[in-house]
Structure 1
Amino acid sequence: MDIKGEKYLSSHEFCQAIQPEHGLFPLSTDHAMLLFNVADPTCRGAVSEQEYLDFYALLSSPHGEFEILSRLIKPGKSHQVTLNGIKTFLTKHRNPLATPLEYGSETLQHYCAGIPADRNLTLSEVGEIVKALQHDLLRLEYKRRDPKNTGKISGESFCQLINVTLKHRMSARLLENFPTSFTHATFAEVVALNSVLSKLDIIRKIVDTTVAASPDNSITQKSFSQTASKMLTYDSISPLEVDIIFRSLGASANSHLAPSLFDPLFNPSYRTIVPNAEPIRLSVPMEIAKSTYNFSLGAIAGAIGATFVYPIDLVKTRMQNQRSKVVGQLLYRNGWDCFKKVVRNEGVGGLYSGLLPQLVGVAPEKAIKLTMNDLIRAKLRDRKTGDLPLWAEIVAGCSAGGSQVLFTNPLEIVKIRLQVQGEVAKAGIEGAAPRQSAISIVRQLGLFGLYKGVGACLLRDIPFSGIYFPVYAHLKKDIFHEGRNGKKLSVVELLVAGALAGMPAAYLVTPADVIKTRLQVAARKGESTYTGIMDATRKIFAEEGASAFFKGGLARVMRSSPQFGVTLAAYEFLHKVVPIDFGDTPKDMNTVVASAAVSPSEVGMRNTLRVFGDLSLAK
C-alpha cells in the first residue's frame, strides 16, 4: 500500500511477509499481529520499509525475544517495563482458555521482592519473570483441574493442560501419544514433562551418544540413563523424566527405539509433508512385472548358490545314507574320501548328479521362504516403536521354514535318489535298482510318495529357519552395524553374515536331516527300512549309535553356510547390475523433519514464539 508516495505493508501483508518458509515454525494470526504491533511503533496501521528492516534487526539480536516482549508490555508511549505493565498486558492478551494468573503467588513474590510495581525492569529481570510465570502457569492449570487435591488428574485433563501451556513446544505426532500413554497424571509428571521439554538440546546429545555406543543402533531406557549419568556433571535427568520421554513416544520400559523415533520429540515443527497426496500405486501389469523381476533375480541367485555348493551337498547325502553296520557297504571313510571316489568313479559330472531338480526347486523355495519371513516380521513388529522381540523373529523364521516344505520335499526326495544311485552302480551292490532319470523317479513315487519323509523335512526346515533368520538379522545389526548412521552393508558383508548365520543353523538340525535322508532314500537289500520318524530314530540309534545322527554334519555346514552367503550376496549384486524402476520409488522424501533454524532472524522468530507460548499469549 502507498501512503504519501511511500510504500508500506498493511497488517495483512506484514503477517504474510513474516511467515516462516516451509512452515518452519507455526505462526498464528494472533501472534503475527502482536509482532506487527512491535514493528509499527507509531500505531499508524502500516509498516514502512525502514520499520520492517528495524523489526528484523531486533528479531535477529541476542535476546531479541525479551526485547520484543518488553516493547509489547510498555503502555502507550511509555519507555518503561513495570510489574503493573506486565499484569495489564497479560490480562489483555492471554489465551482465554488459560487460568488467570495469581500475581501475588509465592514464586513471583520471590522474584519480585523489593521491586516497586511501577519501577522500570531490566531486560534480565523480564527474562527471569517470564520463567517464573511459566512455572506458575503450570501449577495453576494443574490446581484448577485437581480442586480436591487428589494428587492426580485424568488423562483428558492432562491433555487440556498441555494444550494451554506446553503445546507450542510439542509436535502433533507427540501430542497424539498422550491420550493413550497417560490415563492420569500427577503434578510430578507435569513438572517432569516441562523439564524434559526444557532440556531437549542436551537430550538430543544423549540420544546421539547412546546410539553411537549401541551395538544394535537402538536406545533403551537403561542405556539412555547410563549415558546421561556419564555425560551430565552439573545437571541430571531424573528417572521420572526418562520415563516421560519414552512414554511420550508411545514406548514401554523395555522398548528398543530407533534414533529416528525421537525426531518428534526434538522438533516442535516435525510434520509429514506429502507432495504426492496419494501413495504411489502400480497398475496390475506393473505389479506383475515387478514380482516377476524379483522372483527371477531370486531364482538366479538361488541357482548360483545351489550350484556353488552342490558337490558338498552330494558328499553330505552319500555320507548320511551310508549304513556303517552293513557289512561290505562301507564305501567311504570320510567326506574327503567320498569326494575323491566320486570324481574317480563317476567323473566331475558325478558331483552334480541330481542338480537339475535342485535348481528347479530353488526359485519357489527361496521366494516363499524370504517372502514369508519378511511378512511375519512385519506383522509382529510394534508399529509405534519398531521393536521386534526375539520370539517374534524366531516365529517368523519358523513360519518361513515350514512354508517352503510344500515345494522342497518332492524335489529333495528326487535329488537324494539321484545322488545315491551313482555310488550304487559303481559299487555293484546286489539288489540295487538300475539308474533312473528324475522323471522316472517321480512316476515311480507318485504324488503321495513325493511327500515321503515330509515330517522329518519339517523337523529340519522349521528349526533351521528359526535359527538362521534371527542370527542373520542380529549379525547384520550387531556385528556389521547395518543402519548405524545410515550404513548400508556391502556385498562382502552380506556374504559373511549369511555364511556365519548358516553354521549353527545347519549343524544343529543335522539329526533331522539324517532321519529325512534315510526315510526318502530307497532301501537296498539287507538294509533296515523305516516306517516313520520315531522308528528311524530308534533303529539308527540301536544299530549305529548316537554319532550316526551327526553324519555329514560338517559337510552340511560347509554346504548350507556358503550357500546362503552366496545366494544373498548374488541377490544384492543382481539388483545393482540390473536395476529397474517400476515407478513406485518416491523421487523425494515424503516424511521430513523441519531443519533447525540457521539464520539470526529464524532463531529470533523461534525464540519469540516460544516466549509467547510459555505465557499462553493469544491463540
Structure 2
Amino acid sequence: MSPWSRILPTTYCDSDVQPSLTKAALQSVRTAVAVPESELKRWRRTFDANAKVVNGEKYLDAESFVTAIAPKGDLSKIGRSQFGILFRIADTSRRGLVSWEDFTVFETLLKRPDADYWMAFQYFDVDHSGFIDYNEFKTVFSANLGPDAIPFDFDCDWVKLYLGKKNGNHVLGYNEFTQLMKGLQGERLRQAFKYLDTNEDGFIKPDEFKRIILEIAGHKLSDAVIDRLPTLCTLSPGQRISYSEVIAFHNVIREMDMVERIIRESTAKSKDGRIDQNDFLNYAASSSRYSLFTPMEASIIFHFAGRGVGMQRLALLDFAQLLDPRWRPPHDEEYTAVKAPAVSWGTKILMSSYSFVQGGFAGAVGATIVYPIDMVKTRMQNQRSTVVGQMLYKNSIDCAKKIFRNEGFVGFYRGLGPQLIGVAPEKAIKLTVNDLIRSRAMDPETGRIEVQWELFAGGMAGGSQVVFTNPLEIVKIRLQVQGEAAKVEGAIPKGAAHIIRQLGILGLYKGATACLLRDIPFSAIYFTAYSHLRKDVFQDGYNGKQLSFLETLSAAAIAGMPAAYLTTPADVVKTRLQVEARKGQTHYSGLRDAFVKIYREEGFRALFKGGPARVIRSSPQFGFTLLAYETLKDVYPWQDKPLKMETALTSRPDEMSKIRARNALKILLDVHGDFGRRAAAFSGRPLSLSNPKLSPP
C-alpha cells in the first residue's frame, strides 16, 4: 500500500491504486475537505516563508517544518523539538524533506475534525497498512521510553483485551485505536502505581507519586504544582499517598477544562468573587447532568490552588497555578519584569500627561457629537412659562427647527469653543479620579469592588470636576441663550471673553452648589451602572470575553439614561441660576429659592424640563466618550491592567490546524512525557519493528 493511502481519506483513495501527488489528486483532497482558495494561499505564504531551496526545488526540512506548523505562544509545556514528531508523518517518502505537495496534504488533514487522533494513528502505523498490531504498538511505545522510565507490561490483560491473547493476532483499525489511546493513560497509571507499591499495601511515597505524574502528565502542570506534588500526602494520615488519591488527581487533570469552566463561572457569580469547596461542588452539580467531581477531587483542587488550608475561599487568580501550565509566582524575576516594570519619574510625567490628553480627547469627541442636542436642552430649560408674551418653543423639535431657521447650522454650535477648552481638564479629572478610587478600593485578586465604593468613586469624580465644569457651563449657557435673546430683544451677542469679564472669578462659580448637586449623583449613578452593564449584562471578562465596539458603546450609552434623567431637576435649577434673567423673568437668590419658586410657579413637571433632551444628549455623549476612553486605554503603553488568568479557554485562539497539531502531540505525550524528545538521535532513520532502539520517536 502506498504511504499516501494511509493519509488520504478513504472516500477518494483506492487501496488497490498507488495514488500519486498529481494536481488532480491534490484537488480531490482539497475538495473533499473543502479548503477555500484563501486558505491555500495562506498555506503557500507560510511554506514559501520557511522553505529552503534544494536542487532547485523548495522544501521544508525538520527545523523549518516545525517553525511553519508550531503554534505561537503555545499554552502547554510541549517542547519545540517535540513538534518534530509531526514531521515524520508529513515526510512520507522518508527523504528528510517535505515538499509543497506534502505540506498541502498535511495541512488539509489537519482540518479533519479528528486530526489529533488521526496523526497519532499515523505515528503508530509503521508499515502503513492501515492497521496497528501488537508488534507495532509495542515497538513504537518502547522506542519512546527512556532507560529510567517506569516499565510498561505489554503482556497485561488490558493490552490483550485490545490486541488479542494468542500471538497478538488481533489488529486495530483506526476507530479501535482511538479508544485504546483514550484509555492508555489510565492503564499506565495503574501499572506504575502497582510497580512502585512494592509492599502491596495500597500506598506509595510522595516522591514516587511525583515520578508517575511527571511521566504521564508533566506537560499539563505548572512548575509550582509539580514542586508541590509530594504534598498530596498531607491530605490523609500516614504521609503516604493512596491509589484513590492518585486516581483522583489524574481525574482532575483529565477534566481540567471542565474544572476551569466551573471555577470561572462560579467565581463570576459569587458575591465576593471567591468560592470554597462546597461552592465548587454545588456549581458542578447544578451545571452538569451527572456529578463530575468527588469530594476528594474537590479537596485536591483546593489543596493545590491554595496553601494547604482546608475550607478556605479562593479567588479565580488563586487557581491559576493549577489551571495554567505556564504560571509563575509573582516574585519570579521574569514574571515581575513583564507584570510590574519599574516606572521612572519621567515615565510618570508622561503617564499623567497622556491621561490628561486621553480624557480630554475622549470628552471632546463625545461633546462635539451631541452639542446640538445640548443646545436644544439648554434653550428648553431656560424657557419659562411665566414670561410675558408668547413662548418661543412648543417642544424640543420645534426648538431645533427654529434654531436652524433663525441662526443657521452654526447656531447649533454656539458656545462650543469654551466647551471644548474646558472639557479636557473636566473629563480628565473625572475619569482619572473615578479610576483611581476604584483601583484603591478594588480587591486585587477578584477584581471586585463593593457597590458603596463604586458610588463613592463616581460621586467623588463628579464632585471634583465641578472646579472646571461650573465656569465652563455658565459661559456656555449664556452663549447658547444669546441667540434667542437677540431674536426677542434685538440684543447684540457678546463673546466668551466679555461674559468672563462681566462675571469675574466668583461669578464663574455661580450655581456651583446646584452643579455639585447634579454632577455628584450623576457620576455616582453613571459609573456604577456602566460597570455593572459591562460585567453583568454584556459579560465583560467572562471566560476571557472582550467587549466589542457596539457592546462598549451600548453599555456606556445605556448607563447615561437613568443618570441623566434622575439629575434633571438639579440641572434645571443650575441653568436658571446661571442664566442672566431678562426683564419679566423671575429672579432666584439661591439654590433653595430656585427650587421653591420653580415648583410653585411652574409645577413639579417644570423640574424635569429638558429631561428627554438631556437623556438624548448625555446618553450618546457619554457613550462615545467612554468608548474613546476605553479604546485609548487599550493602546496606553503604561496601562496598569489588573492581573488576569489566561489559559486555552480565554487566550486568542490559534488556527484550528495548529490547535489540532498541538492536541495530536498531547495525545502522544499522555503515553509518556518524553515522547519525541529522543527523535534528534534518530531523525530520518527508518523505523525497525525488529529493533525498537532504532525507532525514532
User: TM-score, normalization: structure 1?
Assistant: 0.61
Instruction: Report what 1:435 is aligned to.
Output: 493
Q: By how many angstroms is 1:592 displaced? A: 8.8
Instruction: Report what 1:534 is aligned to.
Output: 592
In structure 2, the CA distance between the partners of 1:277 and 1:556, relative to structure 1 (3 Å rule), is: closer
In structure 2, the CA distance between the partners of 1:489 and 1:593, relative to structure 1 (3 Å rule), is: closer
SS at the partner of 1:231?
A: coil
Q: By how many angstroms is 1:368 displaced? A: 1.0
Q: By how many angstroms is 1:296 displaced? A: 2.6
What is the distance in 2 between the residues matched to 1:131 and 1:24? 34
Q: By how many angstroms is 1:341 displaced? A: 1.2
Q: What is the aligned counterpart of 2:507 among 449, 455, 459?
A: 449
What is the distance in 2 between the residues matched to 1:269 and 1:553? 53
8 Å Cα contact 2:430-2:462 kept in structure 1? yes
Q: By how many angstroms is 1:556 displaced? A: 0.3
8 Å Cα contact 2:437-2:457 kept in structure 1? yes
8 Å Cα contact 2:274-2:446 kept in structure 1? no
Q: By how many angstroms is 1:226 displaced? A: 2.6
In structure 2, the CA distance between the partners of 1:385 and 1:443, relative to structure 1 (3 Å rule), is: same
Is it true that 1:275 corresponds to 2:337 in the alignment? Answer: no
CA distances 1:331-356 after superposition (whole Å, capped 9, x unpaired): 11110111111112222211111111
8 Å Cα contact 1:373-1:399 kept in structure 2? yes
Q: By how many angstroms is 1:561 displaced? A: 0.6
What is the distance in 2 between the residues matched to 1:228 and 1:548? 55
Instruction: Report what 2:530 is aligned to.
Output: 472
Is it true that 1:521 corresponds to 2:574 in the alignment? Answer: no
Q: What is the aligned counterpart of 1:201 among 253, 267, 271?
A: 253
In structure 2, the CA distance between the partners of 1:482 and 1:235, relative to structure 1 (3 Å rule), is: closer
8 Å Cα contact 1:256-1:387 kept in structure 2? no
Q: By how many angstroms is 1:488 displaced? A: 2.7
Is it true that 1:326 corresponds to 2:383 in the alignment? Answer: no
Is it true that 1:264 corresponds to 2:354 in the alignment? Answer: no
Q: By how many angstroms is 1:171 displaced? A: 7.8
8 Å Cα contact 1:476-1:497 kept in structure 2? yes
Q: By how many angstroms is 1:280 displaced? A: 2.8
Q: More deviation in 224-233 or 208-217?
A: 208-217
What is the distance in 2 between the residues matched to 1:231 and 1:208? 14
Instruction: Report what 2:283 is aligned to.
Output: 226
Q: Structure 1: which amino acid aligns with 2:564?
A: A
Q: Structure 2: which amino acid aligns with 1:477?
A: K
SS at the partner of 2:556?
A: helix
CA distances 1:422-472 after superposition (whole Å, capped 9, x unpaired): 11110128xxx7532211211222222111111111111111111111222
SS at the partner of 1:427?
A: helix
Q: Give percent identity, aligned residues only.
A: 45
In structure 2, the CA distance between the partners of 1:60 and 1:599, relative to structure 1 (3 Å rule), is: farther
Q: By how many angstroms is 1:131 displaced? A: 9.9
SS at the partner of 1:333?
A: coil
Is it true that 1:298 corresponds to 2:378 in the alignment? Answer: no
What is the distance in 2 between the residues matched to 1:62 and 1:461? 73
In structure 2, the CA distance between the partners of 1:63 and 1:542, relative to structure 1 (3 Å rule), is: farther
Instruction: Report what 2:435 is aligned to.
Output: 374
Q: By how many angstroms is 1:377 displaced? A: 1.1
Q: Structure 1: which amino acid aligns with 2:375?
A: L
Unaligned runs of 5+ in 2: 1-74, 79-141, 155-189, 207-220, 229-234, 649-661, 675-697
8 Å Cα contact 2:77-2:325 kept in structure 1? no
Paired residue total: 459
Instruction: Report what 1:245 is aligned to.
Output: 302
8 Å Cα contact 1:357-1:411 kept in structure 2? yes
What is the distance in 1 between the residues matched to 2:285 and 2:644? 33
Q: What is the aligned counterpart of 1:56 among 146, 158, 161?
A: 146
In structure 2, the CA distance between the partners of 1:551 and 1:203, relative to structure 1 (3 Å rule), is: farther
8 Å Cα contact 1:216-1:478 kept in structure 2? no
8 Å Cα contact 1:317-1:552 kept in structure 2? yes
What is the distance in 2 between the residues matched to 1:239 and 1:404? 55
Q: By how many angstroms is 1:497 displaced? A: 1.9
Instruction: Report what 1:486 is aligned to.
Output: 544
Is it true that 1:500 corresponds to 2:558 in the alignment? Answer: yes
Q: By how many angstroms is 1:234 displaced? A: 5.8
In structure 2, the CA distance between the partners of 1:570 and 1:131, relative to structure 1 (3 Å rule), is: farther
8 Å Cα contact 1:425-1:435 kept in structure 2? yes
Q: By how many angstroms is 1:125 displaced? A: 5.3
Q: Structure 1: which amino acid aligns with 2:534?
A: K
Unaligned runs of 5+ in 1: 1-21, 26-51, 65-120, 138-168, 177-184, 607-619
Q: By how many angstroms is 1:124 displaced? A: 6.9
Q: What is the aligned counterpart of 1:308 among 349, 369, 387?
A: 369
CA distances 1:292-343 after superposition (whole Å, capped 9, x unpaired): 3443343233212111111110111111111113332521111011111111
What is the distance in 1 between the residues matched to 2:499 and 2:327? 64
Is it true that 1:409 corresponds to 2:466 in the alignment? Answer: no
In structure 2, the CA distance between the partners of 1:131 and 1:421, relative to structure 1 (3 Å rule), is: farther
In structure 2, the CA distance between the partners of 1:224 and 1:424, relative to structure 1 (3 Å rule), is: farther
Q: What is the aligned counterpart of 2:262 among 198, 204, 210?
A: 210
8 Å Cα contact 2:193-2:204 kept in structure 1? no
8 Å Cα contact 2:553-2:624 kept in structure 1? yes
SS at the partner of 1:59?
A: coil
8 Å Cα contact 1:274-1:590 kept in structure 2? no
8 Å Cα contact 1:171-1:265 kept in structure 2? no
In structure 2, the CA distance between the partners of 1:301 and 1:134, relative to structure 1 (3 Å rule), is: same
Q: More deviation in 199-208 or 355-364?
A: 199-208
What is the distance in 2 between the residues matched to 1:254 and 1:409? 50
Please report the RMSD computed on the Cα atoms of aligned residues, expressed in angstroms: 5.1
In structure 2, the CA distance between the partners of 1:508 and 1:466, relative to structure 1 (3 Å rule), is: same
Instruction: Report what 1:147 is aligned to.
Output: none
Residue pairs, 1:533-612, within 5 angstroms: 533-571=591-629, 598=666
8 Å Cα contact 2:358-2:632 kept in structure 1? yes
8 Å Cα contact 2:358-2:428 kept in structure 1? no
In structure 2, the CA distance between the partners of 1:61 and 1:314, relative to structure 1 (3 Å rule), is: farther
SS at the partner of 1:330?
A: coil
8 Å Cα contact 1:323-1:329 kept in structure 2? no
SS at the partner of 2:333?
A: coil
In structure 2, the CA distance between the partners of 1:204 and 1:131, relative to structure 1 (3 Å rule), is: farther
Q: More deviation in 439-448 or 262-271?
A: 262-271
Q: Structure 1: which amino acid aligns with 2:146?
A: Y
8 Å Cα contact 1:275-1:590 kept in structure 2? no
In structure 2, the CA distance between the partners of 1:485 and 1:569, relative to structure 1 (3 Å rule), is: same
Q: By how many angstroms is 1:549 displaced? A: 1.1
Q: By how many angstroms is 1:123 displaced? A: 7.0
8 Å Cα contact 1:249-1:262 kept in structure 2? yes
Q: What is the aligned counterpart of 2:413 among 346, 352, 373?
A: 352
What is the distance in 2 between the residues matched to 1:253 and 1:441? 67
What is the distance in 2 between the residues matched to 1:320 and 1:552? 6
Is it true that 1:400 corresponds to 2:461 in the alignment? Answer: yes
Q: By how many angstroms is 1:410 displaced? A: 1.0
8 Å Cα contact 1:217-1:484 kept in structure 2? no
8 Å Cα contact 2:366-2:624 kept in structure 1? yes
In structure 2, the CA distance between the partners of 1:133 and 1:198, relative to structure 1 (3 Å rule), is: same
In structure 2, the CA distance between the partners of 1:54 and 1:571, relative to structure 1 (3 Å rule), is: closer
Instruction: Report what 2:32 is aligned to.
Output: none
Q: More deviation in 326-335 or 246-255?
A: 246-255
Q: By how many angstroms is 1:542 displaced? A: 0.9
Is it true that 1:342 corresponds to 2:403 in the alignment? Answer: yes
CA distances 1:196-237 after superposition (whole Å, capped 9, x unpaired): 867633774444433686795876645762333443736654
Q: By how many angstroms is 1:506 displaced? A: 0.9
Q: Structure 2: which amino acid aligns with 1:475?
A: L
8 Å Cα contact 1:225-1:242 kept in structure 2? no
